[in-house]
Amino acid sequence: MERSTTTVDILAAYRRYLGTFVKWTIAALVVVLGVSFIMPQTYVATVSVMPPDTKSGGGLASMLASTALPLSLGGENKSGLVFAEILRSKALARGIIDTLKLRTRPEFADMSDEDIVDVIEQQRIVDVRKSGLVTATLSWKTSWFPNGEDADSAKALVARAANACLWVLDDINRENSVAHARSTREYIERVIAQTLVDIDSLQDLRLSFQRENKVLAIDEQMQAIVESAITIGTDLSKAELERTLLSLELQPNAPEIKLVDKKIEALRELYQRVQAGGITENDGFSIPLSKAPELMRTYANLFRDLKIKEQMHAYLQSQRMQEIINEAKDTPTIVPLDKAVVPENRESPSRKNMTVLTILLAAILYGLIVPIVVTRSRPPAPSV
């Protein structure tokens, strides 16, 4: 018959094996701390950037943004999301490789560009805050058995890599802005060329009409109708151009396109009402063009179309100049808030955490093993 192990026996065993526990804990600490000196050391650097206000641009984009009361969907800064995707992209990683000339570093000598890109992606964390602030955090590890020179090299490299994120981000964003401005300018130039052809044709038609019919001017009431039609027709042409440009970069069901479609629909209705004899039914100063003599109506149509084309041409030229400026612009497109500095302390391994964890695990094992040892080594009680 075996004797049961009492609490007194276990407490006595704890006291008896305390010296052994301390020795094994010290030995474990020596091993763990020794490993911490030879294992790779990780250093971290962070940069942050505030995207520009999406309404601060020029040209047609700024015009649309200024009218976008109902277009605010959640208040997010879309530039922040775009910047975050660029920071996560392989293109930015390749830009870091070229900027820092990582291929010449010994640790990357036997690696392909794609392998280096994978290493950068694994060490990169990008975050977008509700305010629109974008942060990019990079970490870099030394090799095993690092010395002071290896640690200093890793510190300098992680700071340079983090700052390179800002440089490459600005380059990529600037290239995208230039490409967008170029495509918009080229489209506007094609529209301008066609508009000039239309103006020449209308001028010839008007001149021929005046010579054949000896028409020099139109009635003041007709003039008022035509001027209203010119104004509304010009706004309609602008809205249709805005819609075409938006379709080059947005989906057909985008809120911006829907808003412009509503604007076009309203202008077309107003334009048709002007053609029918005025904006309001009780307009006593307007004469319906359909009731005007055929001769005067033809002349008014020629005059109206020509003025619309001329005003549209002036508008297109101003937009073309804006896009030329945007295309040639060489100013930074991002606003860095925090640039990376060389980190003074490593991120890991944390010897303090390793020490605490080692002692904690040793205490847990000591608390579990001692009762087992006491129970198994307890001699059986003498039989009666």
Model pLDDT, residue 63 = 44
Residues 315 and 313: their CA atoms lie apart, in Å, by 5
- 267, 236 contact by CB (below 8 A): yes
Model pLDDT, residue 281 = 54
Q: Which two tokens stand for residue 89?
A: 């992209």
Task: Give the model confidence (pLDDT) of 70-90 as tens digits.
Answer: 333 344 457 778 888 888 888
Model pLDDT, residue 38 = 83
**Closest alpha carbon to 39 in 186, 141, 133:** 141
Cβ burial, residue 78 (10 Å; 0-12/13-18/19+): exposed
- 232, 271 contact by CB (below 8 A): yes
Model pLDDT, residue 285 = 45
Q: How far is CA 18 from the centre of its chain?
A: 60
Helical ranges in 89-147 per DSSP H? 90-100, 113-122
Model pLDDT, residue 9 = 73
Model pLDDT, residue 330 = 63
Compute φ and ψ for 47, nearest 5 degrees.
-125, 155
Compute φ and ψ for 215, nearest 5 degrees.
-95, 125
Q: Which two tokens stand for residue 213?
A: 């019919």
Model pLDDT, residue 56 = 46
Model pLDDT, residue 66 = 41
**Residues ≥6 apart with Cβ < 8 Å to 230:** 304, 307, 308, 311
Task: Give the model confidence (pLDDT) of 303-342 as tens digits.
Answer: 888 888 888 888 888 888 888 877 776 666 677 888 888 8
pTM exceeding the 0.85 threshold for the entire prediction:
no
Q: Which residues of the chain are modeled with pLDDT < 70?
A: 1-5, 52-77, 210, 213-225, 275-295, 329-333, 377-384
Q: Which two tokens stand for residue 104?
A: 């010449």
